[in-house]
Structure 1
Amino acid sequence: MTGRGSNDDPGPWRRGPRRQGDAPADPAARGERTPPRGDRAPWPGGRTQGRDDRPAPRRDGPRPASTGRTDTSALEAPPPPRGGRGGELRLHGFNAVQAVFASRPEAIRKVYLNQSRIPHLQPLLKWCVAQRVGYRVVTDDELGKLAASAHHEGVVADVLRPPPLSLADWLPTLEPGPQCLLWLDGVGNPHNFGAILRSAAHFGVAAVLLAQTSTLSLSGAAARVAEGGAEVVPLVRLGPTAESIPMLRAAGFELAATVVREGRPLFAATASQRLVYVLGAEGEGMDAELAAACDLRVSIPGTGAVDSLNVASATAVLLAHWAATRGN
């Protein structure tokens, strides 16, 4: 990194020239040193907990104070509550941040990065300069405080959450033909949620459905584990179950409750062309009334050496089977 500013000093926020398109080849070389825009209000919080599927410790860190100088108090402030449905989200992890830049660059509000990541994030930094979005080069320790995690992979970003989607608004936009959806009932661990989103993106799941009463929402930890999948798979908020199930059936979907025992063996039949897998929390399982309302029950057969698969692992198996049979 050359030009103004020391590589060893986090320095003030950097912004680009006032005229868009007049960005230097190296944004760190000529960016103006101006304070960032003011902080935005923290998002409301909420948690979903199952007996054996409790959320992991907080991974999202606080937003820094909006000053033009290095202010370590922002790195030491207590984290905002997790689970809000609006406002900003603090992401960490290289693929998570790159995925937002590829799909929703206008959502990026602030970027923090380690000096070693500058060569890998040149397109993002040039965009920040052109759009006057603040970025700051910081140490690994500071990134760890910002992300509240050692697994920041050299970059942290504050981004706007995508607007919430309702089933009534989203369902008519779904393309015809084979489609698979995931209905999460009680899943709360952010690492499981992130792994589910990663598998969903890999196998082409159209959406993840969240119950009306669920407080589950994307967190920085979930987005990192998803490795970019959180930007590919939309999250759709359901209405009352008694209204949501008929809407899904009217769109040609069959609902399959995934259970540990006494379900149809997964590999014994071809999966439906349009299918909703309903997944419950590992310890408590899904709501009994919801399971009874589904069209069928499926179980993943195994040796019996362990009681069942982790919900994220089970999701990968279910989706692999659907992907292998959907064309038949």
Structure 2
Amino acid sequence: MNNPWNNRRPSARPPRATPVTRPAAPAAAPGGGGRGGDELRLFGLNAVLAAFAARPDALRKLYLLEARIPRLQPVLKWCVANRVGYRVVEDGDLNKLAGTTHHEGVVADVQRAPVLALDAWLQQLPQGPVLALWLDGVGNPHNLGAILRSAAHFGVGALLLPDASSLAISGAAARVAEGGAEAVPLVRLPPSSQALQQLRSAGFGLAATLVSGGDDVFNAALPQRLVYVMGAESEGMDRGLAAQCDLQVSIAGTGAVESLNVASATAVLLAQWARLHRH
């Protein structure tokens, strides 16, 4: 009986693509790459390579174009050694698998990284400066991906998710993050009052980020251990939560536009903290 998975050992000579009679590729899950439960469908070269580098045992299945075989040789060899299925397919199959044409020639099903509890994350923190982002309502996957990319670039310690938030990494977010989704852990917060107490007990100050009305972030005294609280794309952050923060900061601009996109604002805020506390 033929094995539908193309698990032959990679060699210097790229194998031929799977014949046209191959089994049909599974359809993309709703939501641009989410698989539901404990599994996630990734697409994009850097997203897949970052997941493999950080958590090779999380890889469940791999689909790729023949042209990607040389670049993905280490992954394919690992698949053969560990009996993980991979399949050489055509571009149209990857379009269906990913639900987009922006797959860069590779799609992977992986086990999701665990979301940490706040107390567990706090216990493993090093001494000294630490920066985290509290995402109060951010929901757009492309914004989440861009935030993760900036967070990875500036060495953010975690993305903190409210207890009732349904936000999770999707395939689209991971692709936009360009590997950043594997570099920044997700942390689930307890209810706000408890989260504020735990973070302050660990030496963190909290800065509400406001479109206007806050202190100019470029002149603000940002503490070494800081949590920026980022609001939703359209409504901004919850005013009650903003009032409970230690600082309220804004990014001054020309006024030619109402505000920066939340992902662009995040990059500016992270850069300012890093300028003060990273050497």
1:82 CA drift (Å):
7.3
1:119 aligns with 2:70: yes
Pick aligned residue for 1:194 from 138, 145, 158: 145
1:135 aligns with 2:86: yes
After TM superposition, the structure 1 = structure 2 runs for residues 65-214 of structure 1, keeping only pairs within 5 Å, are 70-72=22-24, 74-75=26-27, 79=30, 86-214=37-165
Q: TM-score with structure 1 length normalisation? A: 0.79
| 2:271 corresponding residue in structure 1 | 320
Structure 1 stretches of 4+ moved >6 Å: 80-85
1:264 aligns with 2:256: no
- Provide, for residues 129-154 of structure 1, a one-character-per-residue CA deviation record: whole Å limited to 9, x for no partner: 11110000011111000000110000
Equivalent residues of 2:115, 2:186 under 8 A apart: yes
Q: TM-score with structure 2 length normalisation? A: 0.92
1:221 aligns with 2:176: no
The verdict on how the C-alpha distance between 1:199 and 1:160 changes in structure 2, with shifts beyond 3 A counting, is: same
After TM superposition, the structure 1 = structure 2 runs for residues 282-321 of structure 1, keeping only pairs within 5 Å, are 282-321=233-272
Tell me the amino acid that sits aligned with residue 24 of structure 2: T
- Provide, for residues 307-328 of structure 1, a one-character-per-residue CA deviation record: whole Å limited to 9, x for no partner: 0000000000000000001159
The verdict on how the C-alpha distance between 1:148 and 1:290 changes in structure 2, with shifts beyond 3 A counting, is: same
Distance 2:6 2:268 in 1: 46
Aligned partner of residue 102 in structure 2, secondary structure: coil
1:218 CA drift (Å):
0.2
1:27 CA drift (Å):
9.5
Distance 1:148 1:111 in 2: 16
Distance 2:211 2:31 in 1: 36
Distance 2:267 2:161 in 1: 18
Aligned length, in residue pairs: 275
1:90 CA drift (Å):
0.1
1:274 aligns with 2:225: yes
Distance 2:97 2:195 in 1: 39
| 1:14 corresponding residue in structure 2 | 6
Q: Can you give the 5+ residue segments of structure 1 that lack an aligned partner in the other structure?
A: 6-10, 17-22, 34-68
The verdict on how the C-alpha distance between 1:246 and 1:163 changes in structure 2, with shifts beyond 3 A counting, is: same
Distance 2:25 2:91 in 1: 16
